[in-house]
Amino acid sequence: MQPEWSTRISWPDVPGHVRAGIEEILGAPVQEWTSQRGGFSPGTADRVRTVSGQQAFVKAVGTAQNEHSPSIHRKEAANTAGLPPEVPSPALIGTFDDGEWVALILADVEGRAPRVPWSMAELTVVLDALLDLASTPVPLSLAHLPLLDHELRDAFDGWARVRDEEPESCDPWILGNLDALETLAAQGLKDLSGSSLVHGDIRADNILITGNNKAVLVDWPWACIGAGWIDGLSLLINARLFDADFDVESVLLSHPVFSGLQPGNVDGVLSGLGAYFIDAARQPPPAGLPSVRAFQQQQGDAVIAWLQQRACIR
């Protein structure tokens, strides 16, 4: 299964005054660009090279593509600028913001997206990076980040909305176990509290694997403070999304990023995330993002299938 990524604009589609502002930050005109696929944004994702040979990665979007996307780019710029140097992420070169268009100019990372379905080797590389992230003290520059359990409170309450208005073609197992799912999600929300720096949106298209086999984490608008293992669990959900037979249970038991994690913690957070995905998937698609609801449904199906296999609800 390959997600249907959003259709993006590219460098030539960016208004001239925005391109000029980006080039001023880069110090030279852009001569070449290569659009990148993946993700759910209607904006640009272009690797660019200037006439002076400088390379950079440019993300730009305007309110015409999606009214909320520029504010998401602003959050990403602020969060990226505050990341400590030991966090494997692209450095922020600069930001252009005219109130309507927002562009992030980032260091270009020589790397590629992980190959999916995931291999255990590349999954371990990313989990090692997430272990380092969870062990990195939150710097003062990011002390203002929201708490993860606060950010996901409404999302984890999705089963109540499913009860009030059943989605079309909803899995009968869900409808028959809503009480237990709600109880699990409520506990899972409590388990998200913590003091670690959390990326908040870990999946294959937000990761680069470098030539020396290191993982670089990109796209930071949803950074939070919370449980240090949640990014790793999100990665395992992504592994199951692309391969329902991936042995995620052995990874939970063996990788140190999950040290101290109890089965009930996993069950509760899986239920809460399932509530979010299943409830969100039946909403109208946001402007410029026609395929995101289908992807949320696919993630919800993967989470529910995992919960069923764990047999935490009988």
pLDDT of residue 238: 97
CATH number of 11-108, picked from 3.40.50.720, 3.40.50.10470, 3.40.640.10, 3.30.200.20? 3.30.200.20
Buried b (16+ CB within 10 A) or exposed e, 267-288: bbbbbbbbbbbbbbbbeeebeb
Tell me how far apart the alpha carbons of residues 203 and 16 are, in angstroms, rounded to a whole number: 33
Q: Characterise 263 by phi-psi region: left (phi > 0), alpha (psi -120 to 50), beta (else).
A: alpha
pLDDT score recorded for residue 266: 97
Tell me the HSE value of 2 on the side-chain side, using a 13 A CA sphere: 7
Please give the Cα distance from 49 to 53 (Å, whole number).
6
Average pLDDT per consecutive 10 residues, the chain (314 residues; last block may be shorter) = 71 97 98 86 93 97 94 97 96 98 97 96 98 97 97 98 94 96 97 97 96 96 98 98 96 96 96 98 90 94 96 80
Which pLDDT does position 3 carry in this prediction?
A: 62
Nearest to 226 by CA among 252, 248, 184, 198: 198
Q: Which residue has the tokens 């015409």?
A: 64
d(CA 24, CA 21): 5
Identical fold at 11-108 and 112-310? no
Spell out the domain ranges in the chain.
11-108, 112-310
**What DSSP element (H or E) covers 106?**
strand 101-107
Q: What stretches of the chain show up as alpha helix (H) in DSSP?
A: 16-26, 69-82, 120-135, 148-151, 153-156, 158-164, 172-176, 178-191, 230-242, 248-254, 263-281, 292-310
pTM for the full predicted model: 0.95
Q: How far apart are CA 256 and CA 233, in angstroms?
A: 12
Let me know if domain 112-310 sits in CATH 3.90.1200.10: yes
| Distance (Å, whole) CA 67 – CA 64 | 7
Does residue 124 contact residue 232 with C-beta atoms inside 8 Å?
no
Q: pLDDT tens digit string along 264-312?
A: 999 999 999 999 999 999 999 988 888 899 999 999 999 999 999 998 8
Q: What pLDDT score does 240 carry?
A: 97
pLDDT on residue 6: 59
Q: What integer pLDDT is reported at residue 311 of this predicted model?
A: 83
